[in-house]
A and B are shown apart, each in its own frame.
Chain A
Amino acid sequence: MNFATKAALAVAILGLAACSNPDKYGSGATGPGGTLGPAGAGITQGGINDPNSPAYFSQTIGDMVHFSVDQSTLSDTARGILTQQASWLVSHPSYTAIIEGHADEQGTREYNLALGARRANAAQEFLVSQGVAGNRLRTVSYGKERPLAICSTEECYAKNRRAVTVISQSAAGS
């Protein structure tokens, strides 16, 4: 396989991932400034005002909580968002979620993977404490590999230190 073919294949795979899972790296990855871009809009069922829609979960409630530098403690704001996430998940049992932990670039790669895992776990534990069954949740860390904002100042770093609850309808669901 020559390089051009490989490159085309890689683009195709990425495109596929973007379609099946618009929030792969947080909703902001689908468009600049955290708004839902065309790729996401194309597959979202129901609008942000439809309380049963995934868009309502990711946009209206908010699928993302943020953290202080090198910390994984949940702020009051984060707890508020996670409480609503939990309540939505409890009332929509056909959905499962993967919680992605992320770090800003001010750290070494492997430490940031571990730090992202701490953040994802903090969010997961809170959701479980609010009644979401643990077997509906999984965590993953991307460390500093998938920043949402790409400048190298605290304004961007604050956006990148996040845990994103990415929901999907489980195969066994409705």
Chain B
Amino acid sequence: MMRFVLAMLVALFAGSFGALAQDQAPLHITITDGVIEPLPFAIAGFIPETPDATDVAAQLTQVVSSDLTGTGLFREIAKSAYIQNITNFDTPVNYSDWQAINAQALVVGSVAMSGGKVVVKFRLFDVFSGQQMGEGQQLAASPGSWRRLAHKVSDVIYSRITGEGPYFDSRVVFVSETGPKNARQKRLAVMDYDGANVTYLTDASTIVLAPRFSRDGTRVLYTTFETGFPRIKMLDVATASARLLPDVPGTMTFAPRFSPDGNKVVYSLEQNGNTDLWMMDIASGQTQRLTTSPSIETSPSFSPDGSRIVFESDRSGTQQLYIMSAGGGDATRISFGDGRYSTPVWSPRGDMIAFTKQNSGRFHIGVMRTDGSEERLLTSSFLDEGPTWSPNGRVIMFTRETPGAQGEAALYSVDISGRNLKKVPTPGPASDPAWSPLLP
């Protein structure tokens, strides 16, 4: 269904255009800073080098611009302000022309159609230091994957300037919703992180909930009511074929998540009204009970090294967050603020836990350190829930639902600094996003 043929060639250019050594600190944004003035940049190109590359060059320029400005960290300078007209990829950059319009970063790129592939070359310049940032790169892909090429280019630019890991070349699996609030129809869908290339993975014949990617991005676990009861299903993203995981009759199973190695699933199993956490080995179907408490234990999430699990439990009387060993046993409570804490998700960097918090009739998405310190609420609304991390651990996507009979769910994203809250475009109402890892 989604077969990306992305042959990537990384060629190195000797990018020495007589760097004028100026008294400037190297270009850099630290994205954890509280308030940031977006960094002005210019894209001179991507210049089409073959006539049949004109359209894709324009589209690719648009996507790179949209990736960068969409972070809230960058502001694109209008092309009408450009002084130097760069018409060739190898034209030397006249830094003073770009300094004059206060472009701090400059991207010069080109696109050619060659051997049935789209070939992109680009260089990034630190205008005020008067030098190229990193080496020039060349990437190639089949024409159908031009958006991925654009995201790869954006990822390189973003990473070089921020020092953070890339995340634009990634996908999001989510639940697409239609119909009235009391008869909602739900389908699994997957799309690029920016809402492009939506593909539906299931039909609307039954309720589906809370999909989650494996760390390699090839499989998705989700909860389905297709048997009439909540059951866990594992789907192969490439073929959209899926199978129910084995269960015990008379129980409900839900809230699945892959172990980092992809071999196990941690999930909730309800029996006689009591919900506990269990682990299943996918290959053998063998299960192991992790908690034995009369309270509700659900929404488990592994640490990136697979050694620990963060989950929510109401064993104290209200929903709170706990961490235990991946083998089960004693758990340590990490949330202590006012209100109820739920849906914890371990950051891919390992340093933070994202969560949902309910307090005084409002819902929040927040983050805290894994020991519960430095709690920070990033959002507030009638109903925000279910955070998922970008592959670089710097952005969180979640579900926001509006109140009332006409209430609808939508996907939103926000920086872990609480900045740049925005709606993620989807074809209609949507919920339960789960971000993939960075694509290969």
Residues of A within 8 A of B (CB): 6-7, 9-10, 13-14, 25, 29, 72, 98, 105-111, 113-115, 117-118, 120-122, 124-125, 138-142, 145-152
Contacts and interface: CB of A to CB of B under 8 A. Distances in A.
A140 B205 contact: no
B319 interface: yes
B386 A109 contact: yes
Given A106-B358, A108-B299, A9 B270 contact: no
Interface string B213-245: 000000000010100111000000000000000
Given A6-B203, A113-B230, A150 B358 contact: no
Contact of A109 (B203, B204, B210, B275): B210
24 contacts: A6-B203, A7-B204, A9-B203, A10-B185, A14-B183, A25-B182, A98-B228, A108-B358, A110-B210, A110-B255, A110-B299, A113-B223, A113-B255, A114-B275, A118-B273, A118-B275, A121-B272, A138-B250, A141-B270, A145-B209, A146-B182, A150-B180, A150-B181, A150-B404
B411 interface: no
Given A120-B273, A145-B184, A152-B407, A108 B343 contact: yes
Given A121-B273, A152-B382, A114 B203 contact: no
B338 to A, nearest CB: 16
Contacts of A108: 299, 319, 342-343, 356, 358, 385-386
B26 interface: no
B180 A111 contact: no
Contact of A110 (B180, B254, B382): B254
Contacts of A98: 228
A115 B356 CA distance: 17
B342 A150 contact: no
B70 interface: no
A140 B253 CA distance: 11
Contacts of A107: 342, 358
B250 to A, nearest CB: 7
Interface residues of B, number: 47
A88 B184 CA distance: 33
A118 B296 CA distance: 9
A150 B205 contact: no
A132 to B, nearest CB: 16
B385 A109 contact: yes
B268 interface: yes
A151 B404 contact: yes
Interface in B119-172: none
A120 B250 CA distance: 13
A98 B227 CA distance: 13
A72 B273 contact: yes
A143 to B, nearest CB: 8
Which 4 pairs, one residue from A and one from B, show the smallest C-beta to C-beta distance? A121-B273, A152-B403, A114-B275, A114-B296
Nearest to A156: B405
Given A140-B229, A141-B230, A111 B299 contact: yes
A25 B250 CA distance: 19
B415 interface: no
B145 to A, nearest CB: 24
B298 interface: yes
B205 A13 contact: yes
B353 to A, nearest CB: 15
A22 B143 CA distance: 51
A90 to B, nearest CB: 22
A117 B254 CA distance: 12
A108 B274 CA distance: 17
Nearest to B230: A113
